[in-house]
Structure 1
Amino acid sequence: MLTWTDRLDAKLLKLKKDGLSFAEIAEKMGITRNMALGRFQRISGVVFPSQLERRRMRAAAAKLKKDTQLRKETEIVKKMKAAIAAGTDKGKAMKQAHLAGATYVTIGAVFGISHVRAYQIANGR
């Protein structure tokens, strides 16, 4: 497998600037046409509309997932606090909250403790 170096990148750019096709560049450099083409696009900063759309879609999906998880955890924390106020053991309430979908990071933040300590309390340690 070829490891691209600054020297190879410079050679690729020079050959392209000289007007050679990617097939000719590939032959001169001893690589495939697609390797030359792909590397040229990456070092030239070419970004296709499909790549931009894919990035936008992934970012939107990640934001939706994060927002959904945050809303879910907020509800779970409310129920956990209510259960503790009603007399449920703190460790048991923490365990139930985790099983319902809250992370130990969130549970720990509610009580001002680390996620590790929240895990320990929830699991009776």
Structure 2
Amino acid sequence: MDIETLLAGPGDRTAALATSHGLGAADAAVRVAEAERFHEDKEDLAGELAQRWGEPHHIGMQTVRLRTATEEIPAPWAELSLRVADVYLWQLAEDGRWVALGVADLDPDDEIELLVVVTETDPP
């Protein structure tokens, strides 16, 4: 799925723009190298999106992740905070929706993913 498809409809959508293969059980050094590549891809894509939507906010998700233990954080932010350390975040001028871009690499047992989230829900 691409970003244009995600933007086409209403509601919340989360999609992996890229996914590693076989890294859930990979050697730690291999996983680190692949995570670095995914973060470079995120930076490249963020640069392209910044040309379209302006400079993004860079938001750390640790505080949101910690808050999930004591309060109800709305979807999709709660799940996203458990998967990514930080996101680039834009609010689209045309309809007020939010677009978040991050790398899901926090769980060493999961594959690494370059994630994009489109939502109407304001970030917490």
**TM bin (shorter chain):** under 0.3
Q: Which has the higher contact order (CA 8 A, sep 6+)?
A: 2
**Higher share in helix:** 1
Larger radius of gyration: 1
